[in-house]
Structure 1
Amino acid sequence: MTSSRPYHHGNLRQAVLDEAATVVRDRGAAELSLREVAATIGVTHAAPRRYFPGRQELLDALAAEGFARLGNRLRDAVDVSPDYPTQVQAVATAYLDFATSEANLVELMFANKHGAYGEAVSRSAEVAFAPMLDMFQRARFEGLLADRSPERLSLIFLATLQGLAGLINCGVIPPSQLGELIDEAVQQFPHRV
């Protein structure tokens, strides 16, 4: 059990999400139980079903919330500077910081097991990655990418970052190499073509 405070007449949906997020962060999505979440926040085992008919719907809501949090970090990173190389560095750092500090959540976000709430998760992902795409679109408009497709660059950049995060999270690459790897990854994306 976690040390969360019991729920007291407020936003039950958010209390369930908060406790579920703690379980996923600490133990992984496979360990999530609606019954345990209900017991921890001090409500009947049926109460969370008012908002989440089943475990998968709760997992989908957590994934959507994770994408929203990631999107906020990416948006803040792009807003750091109007300078494209600085933005690329900031976005890479923000993504990898999130993906390595929230490894279990990111695994859930990319699990592709989203049921009835799948469209909401997909929309959340699209919104989350919009700042990254916008960054490449602006760079192309400014003549920094020539004929390179911003959509493809955004996808390749995401795949590069997610690949690095996965290798760090599974222990293949030590976390101490993160800064160096971010610098190397950023150099793979053109500053002027």
Structure 2
Amino acid sequence: MTPARPYHHGNLRQAVLERATAVVRERGASELSLRELAAAVGVTHAAPRRYFPDRQQLLDALAVEGFALLGARLREAVDASPDPSTRVRSIAGAYLEFAISEANLAELMFAHTHGAGGDAVGEGAAAAFAPLVRVFQGDLPPGSTPQRVALIFLATLQGLAGLVNCGVVAVDEVGGLIDEAVARFPQGRGEP
């Protein structure tokens, strides 16, 4: 029997999250094991349970981190665009680039089962998508709200990402599809 290794890691929570993110990116969330992560960061199999008592809490934390990363990319896209129509196109491109390049992480983020970390995941998602709502502020068709337009726009983008990720749509078609999708939505005056 191998003697237990003492805990000597600097920031174990962050180390486990970073390794778990790498596993999700490479192999998907279904391949995530707390025991494997503990071995990879060089601690006993019980050490990560201090921060992640079970696998679902680790998945929740990864979803929150994923939404923070996505939100940062969406804010950058909005901030980098000078006018509303460019902003809508830019945010669509940023979303699709994330959802396609981070397909396994995005799948985990949207497959959340509302466990103990459900509130944190929901708050993370709401914060990530706030730039979408801001982009659609302004002149909208009667009966529309920025929240509703943003939700429909997000659903359109999520659908496109899913079609690309499963191989129905080729990646080189994404630019043209973004242009067509953007043309179907009101541009508003969206504040950056």
Match of 1:190 in 2: 186
Please give the secondary structure, in 1, of the residue aligned with 2:111: coil
Match of 1:87 in 2: 87
- Mapped partners of 2:32, 2:96: distance in 1: 25
TM-score, scaled to structure 2: 0.90
- Mapped partners of 2:82, 2:28: distance in 1: 37
**Residues 5-20 of structure 1: matches in 2 within 5 Å?**
9-20=9-20
> Deviation at 1:8?
6.2
Q: Which moved more, 1:70-79 or 1:175-184?
A: 175-184
- Mapped partners of 2:82, 2:123: distance in 1: 26
Please give the secondary structure, in 1, of the residue aligned with 2:104: helix
- Mapped partners of 1:171, 1:186: distance in 2: 22
Q: Which runs of 4+ in 1 moved over 4 A?
A: none
Match of 1:3 in 2: none
**Residues 99-118 of structure 1: matches in 2 within 5 Å?**
99-118=99-118
Deviations 1:74-103, CA, capped at 9 Å, x for gaps: 111111124110000000000000000000
Q: How many residues end up aligned between the 2 structures?
A: 181
Match of 1:178 in 2: 174
Q: In percent, how many aligned pairs have the same letter?
A: 67
- Mapped partners of 2:112, 2:10: distance in 1: 32
RMSD: 1.4
Contact 2:33 2:55 survives alignment (8 Å): yes
Q: Which moved more, 1:173-182 or 1:60-69?
A: 173-182
Contact 1:56 1:114 survives alignment (8 Å): no
Match of 1:152 in 2: 148
Runs (5+) with no aligned partner, structure 2: 1-6
- Mapped partners of 1:146, 1:40: distance in 2: 53
Contact 2:25 2:105 survives alignment (8 Å): yes
**Residues 6-85 of structure 1: matches in 2 within 5 Å?**
9-85=9-85
- Mapped partners of 1:131, 1:85: distance in 2: 14
Contact 1:71 1:129 survives alignment (8 Å): yes
CA 174–55 in structure 1, closer or farther in 2 if over 3 Å, else same: same
